[in-house]
Structure 1
Amino acid sequence: MKTQDFSVAITVDDAPEKVFNAINNVRGWWSQEINGNTDKLGETWRYHYKDVHAVTMKITEIVPDKRVVWNVLENHFNFTNDQTEWVNSNVIFDISEKDGKTEMRLTHQGLVPGQECYDICSNAWTGYITGSLRDLITKGQGAPNPKEN
């Protein structure tokens, strides 16, 4: 049986360059609680949301206006027993032009049905991509998690 990696896509009227730049502005659409550079090949950065989720990502591929790949080095959820979920998975952003529009597809390679976090994580990714990232691209303002006190 083939595993089904989670995937979600959006289509916008904006140029691939604008979509690419928005993806790399992780503080602008995912969270303001990011430590490290999120836009350079080989960089490692860390995200956390309260005591619920913490993840360390390494940027393993950047192809301007086409693709960004993050590899998950470390991950912690406070709601799963299996703390290895996400570890060594890849978060892939593919950008392509179709019919005069730009499609951006996020595939979380390794996030599959049956994992403890699948429902929560797939819903969260869908919300961030179809809401906050889309708004950052199309309106210039996303809705990232705010900086914690």
Structure 2
Amino acid sequence: MGVSNFSTILLVDNSKEEVFNAINDVRSWWQGEVEGNTNVLNDEFSYSVPGIHFSKQKIIEIIPNEKIKWLITDSKLSFVKDQTEWTGTKIVFEIAEVNNKTQVRFSHLGLVPEFECYGDCSNAWKKLIEESLLSRITTGKGVNVFGE
């Protein structure tokens, strides 16, 4: 089985290209402050929710309409003891055609049950991917899943 990283899957009627473009439009579905560019190789961007979460992502792999991979180069999660738990972990979006639909497999490599933030972080990702990103892909608009 290997390491139990957090992972979730979406299945949509949209094209692979629409899905790819939606994911890269990070500001539209990931709530919080996003600074920097989010759509080409080696782009670096930070994401923050003041007082709760800060992370810096670098796009280390991007294959149009197929795969996007971010490396977390810096992080500070103020609600856990080891505030840099995310640093060095990777976030991967894999896009594939399955039975005439488009499948998105989201994985946070390194976000494992041993992490103190695993519960909170995996719940947050679940909401972000299964509600906000799904809404962004299917309606063109993300939704605020944290009720801020």
1:32 CA drift (Å): 5.1
Q: TM-score, normalised by structure 2?
A: 0.94
1:83 CA drift (Å): 2.2
Instruction: Kindly report structure 1 stretches of 4+ aligned residues shifted beyond 2 Å.
Output: none
Aligned to 1:5: 5
User: Contact 1:33/1:145 (CA < 8 Å) preserved in 2?
Assistant: no
Aligned to 1:82: 82
1:11-61 CA distance string (max 9 Å, x none): 000000000000000000003511100001001110001210000000000
Identity of aligned residues (%): 42
Aligned residue pair count: 147
RCO higher in structure (CA 8 A, sep ≥6): 1
Q: CA RMSD in A?
A: 1.7
Aligned to 1:114: 114
Q: What SS does the aligned partner of 2:8 have?
A: strand
Aligned to 1:94: 94
Separation of aligned partners in 2, 1:120 and 1:32: 16
User: Contact 1:30/1:145 (CA < 8 Å) preserved in 2?
Assistant: no
Aligned to 1:73: 73
Q: Which amino acid aligns with 1:19?
A: V
Gaps in structure 1 of 5+ consecutive residues: none
Separation of aligned partners in 1, 2:129 and 2:145: 13
User: Contact 1:32/1:144 (CA < 8 Å) preserved in 2?
Assistant: no
Aligned to 1:143: 143
